[in-house]
Amino acid sequence: MHSVKIDPKYTNISNPRVGLIALATDFRIEKDFISIIKNQNIDFFVNRIHCYFPLTSENLIKMSNTVTEISEDILPNEKLDCVVYGCTSGTIAAGYETIKKKVNLAKPEAEVTTPSTAAINALRKMKIKKVAIFTPYSKPLNDDVIDYFESENFKVSSNAYFGITNDLDIGKVDEDYLYKTLLEMDLGNADCLFISCTALPALSIIEKLEKKLPGYEVGITSFSKDETKAVVITYTDKSRGTYYYYDVENDKLTELGEISPWLNEDHMAEMKPIKYKSRDGLIIHGYLTLPKGSNGKNLPVVVNPHGGPWARDTWGYRPEIQFLANRGFAVFQMNLRWMMILY
Q: Residues 283-331: pLDDT tens digits?
A: 888 899 999 989 889 999 999 988 766 667 888 889 999 999 999 999 9
Question: Of residues 276 and 18, which shows the higher confidence score?
Answer: 18
Biggest alpha carbon distance in the chain?
106
Asked whether the beta carbons of 17 and 80 are under 8 A apart, the reply is: yes
**Cα–Cα distance list, 339 to 200, 225, 306, 308 (Å):** 59, 41, 14, 9
Of 72-86, 92-106, 257-271, 319-333, which range is least confident?
257-271
pTM of the model: 0.63
Rounded average pLDDT over 92-101: 97
Least confident of 59-63, 117-121, 260-264: 260-264
User: pLDDT, tens digit, for every residue of 258-285?
Assistant: 888 888 888 999 999 888 888 888 888 8
- Residue 336 confidence (pLDDT) above 90: no
pLDDT exceeds 80 at position 227: no
> Which region holds residue 319: left if phi is over 0, alpha if psi is between -120 and 50, else beta?
alpha
Does the pLDDT value for residue 340 go beyond 50? no
Whether the per-residue pLDDT at 213 is higher than 60: the answer is no
pLDDT of residue 207: 67
19-40 pLDDT per residue, tens: 999 999 999 999 999 988 887 8
Give the tens place of pLDDT for each residue, 179-199: 888 888 888 778 889 999 999
Q: What pLDDT is stored for residue 339 in this prediction?
A: 47
**Phi and psi (nearest 5°) for 218?**
-125, 130
Q: Supply the pLDDT for residue 342.
A: 44
E strand segments, 162-279: 192-195, 217-223, 229-236, 239-247, 252-258, 271-277
**Is the pLDDT assigned to residue 211 strictly greater than 70?**
no
Structural domains of the chain sorted by starting position, each given as residue range(s) with its CATH number in brackets: 17-117 (3.40.50.12500), 129-212 (3.40.50.1860), 217-260 (no CATH), 267-334 (no CATH)
pLDDT at 247 over 60: yes
Give residue-wise pLDDT tens across range 157-180. 999 999 999 999 999 999 888 988
- Rounded to an integer, what distance in angstroms lies between the CA atom of residue 324 and that of residue 269? 10
Q: How confident is the model at residue 208 (pLDDT cuts 50, 70, 90)?
A: low
Q: What is the mean pLDDT of the chain?
A: 88
Report helix, strand or coil for 183: helix
Q: Give the pLDDT confidence score for residue 291 in this predicted structure.
A: 94
pLDDT of residue 226: 76
**Residue 158: predicted pLDDT:** 92
- The reported pLDDT for the residue numbered 310 is 62
